[in-house]
Amino acid sequence: MKAARMVAMAVFLAGCAVVSPYDEVIDKGIVEFAEQFNTFVKNMADAGGKQEGTYEANTRTYNTLESKLDVLIARASAASDGKACKVEKKIYERLGRILQDSIPPELKSESTDPSGNADGCNARLLVLVKKQLETVREIHKTSDKCPSPTGQISCLRRATTATALKIANQSINAVSVVESAKKNLTREN
Amino acid sequence: MAATADEIFDKIMSAAEASFKDGWGAVQKYAPAEFRKMAVQIEEIAANVAKYKLDPNEGYSPQTGKLLFKMQRQACESVLVAVTQLTMISVQKALDAIVRVLKDSFKGVIPSIL
């Protein structure tokens, strides 16, 4: 009887997959994106104040980088079956208080869905990387200006690129760290 | 500036630690390093905006600082999602280990079911 219970327990536990499987396409895709994005932003730091460093001269690169992420997001979203991501509620509540700011609505609505699943978190991590890219684009287009012989032109200032890369790489690394941990989990089994 | 990187880091660490009583071990390598980065970067944004106000050729404008802070909030969410995922992976590891032990104990029965 005891043995039968243990067999039943093993069958039950074997069916308990709490994390989504490792995805090599996402793992390699985010590394490629990181390389291209970091190179691009560093090049923009060198090109500040020159015509080739303006937003208008670089819209194609932004489109290419965005498309790369769109492909990865579509892949992760298909796996999540349209479900969102569930984040530990206590953590974001406490951090929201510490940062003396209200919790961003997108964090509350999209990352704390009680019906969320692990694949939804994969998609969310990639969406956040895309949002970082969009914000860098917005800075380049609207807020950063550099002096040039023709007057002030759009650019990414050197100080901006340094901070933006550090921040964006946190989101990029979050994807890599999770995929790497899943890869190790797959190897152990 | 109102708060230093160390003060912000300490607050983030104590809050996260309290929330992760059980699964903290699984994320203790990743989370402190990322929370430290957040604290330093928030301080860096404030410092660069201050530089710009003194000399517009240095640092970056308050508008850029605001957008970079928005990016930092997004990065914060990335870290929280990753921490949650890493914790779940540690749970999965434990489940897998139990299943492995049971499989070894009931070699003839379980592999035929699973």
Residues A123 and A171 occupy one common structural domain: yes
Compute φ and ψ for A151, nearest 5 degrees.
115, -165
Q: State the pLDDT at residue A147.
A: 95
Under the banding of pLDDT at 50, 70 and 90, the label for residue B84 is: confident
Cβ separation of B78 and A181 shorter than 8 Å?
A: no
CB A21 within 8 A of CB A76: no
**Residue A8 touches chain B, beta carbons under 8 Å:** no
Dihedral sign for Cα B38, A116, A13, A27, please.
negative
pLDDT attached to residue B30: 85
Distance CA B108, CA A118 (A): 33
Does one domain contain both A136 and A75?
Answer: yes
* ipTM here: 0.81
Residues A178, A112, single domain; the answer is no
Give the model's confidence band at B20: pLDDT under 50 very low, under 70 low, under 90 confident, else very high: very low
Same domain, A72 and A152: yes
**pLDDT, position B39:** 92
Chain A contact set for B95 (CB, 8 A): 13, 16, 18
- Which H or E run contains A147? strand A145-148
Q: Assess contact for B89 and A181: CB atoms under 8 A.
A: yes
Residues A49 and A126 reside in one and the same domain: yes
- Which is more confident, A6 or B112? B112
Q: Are residues A175 and A129 in the same domain?
A: yes
A128 domain residue, yes or no:
yes
Series of mean pLDDT values for 10-residue runs along chain A (189 residues): 54 59 93 98 97 97 98 88 65 56 48 60 93 98 96 97 97 93 74
pTM, to two decimals: 0.79
pLDDT at B90: 72
pLDDT value at B88 more than 50: yes
pLDDT of residue A185: 72
The token pair at A81 is 């079956």
CB-CB neighbors (< 8 A) of A121 in chain B:
81, 84-85
Domain extent at residue B109: 5-15+34-113
Total of domains in chain A: 2
Residues A51 and A132 in one domain: yes
What is the structure's pLDDT at A106?
44
- Please tell me whether residues A123 and A60 are part of one structural domain: yes
Give the pLDDT of residue B85. Answer: 85
Does residue A91 share a domain with residue A53? no
Amino acid A189: pLDDT = 62
Residue A10 lies in a domain: no
Residue the block writes with tokens 């500036």? B1
Backbone angles phi, psi at A150, to 5 degrees: -95, 5
Tell whether A16 is covered by a domain.
no
Asked if residue B93 is part of any domain, the answer here is yes
What is the pLDDT at residue A93? Answer: 61
Question: Based on the domain organization, do A173 and A124 belong to the same domain?
Answer: yes
Asked whether residue A6 is domain-assigned, the answer is no
- Residue B69 in any domain: the answer is yes
The pLDDT tens digits of the residues spanning A157-188 come to 999 999 999 999 999 999 999 998 888 777 66
Residue B24, domain member (yes or no): no
Q: What domain range is A64 assigned to?
A: 21-80+118-188
State whether the Cα torsion A140-A144-A148-A151 is positive or negative: positive
Contact A136 B71 (CB under 8 A): yes
**Domains held by chain B: number:** 1
Kindly state whether A136 is in contact with chain B, defined as any CB-CB distance less than 8 angstroms. Answer: yes
pLDDT digits (tens, 9 = 90+) for B37-47: 999 999 999 99
Note whether A93 and A31 are same-domain residues.
no
Q: What does the alpha-carbon distance between residue A36 and residue A23 come to, in Å, rounded to a whole number?
A: 20
How confident is the model over B43-68, as pLDDT tens digits?
999 999 999 999 999 999 999 999 99
Percent of chain B residues past pLDDT 70, beyond the cut: 56
- Residues in Cβ contact with A2 at an 8 Å cutoff, skipping those fewer than 6 apart: none
Domain shared by A90 and A163, yes or no:
no
Q: Is A19 helix (H, G, I), strand (E, B) or coil?
A: coil
Residue A99 in domain? yes
CA distance B87 to chain A (A): 10
Tokens representing residue A117 in the block: 């699943």
Predicted pLDDT of residue A182: 86
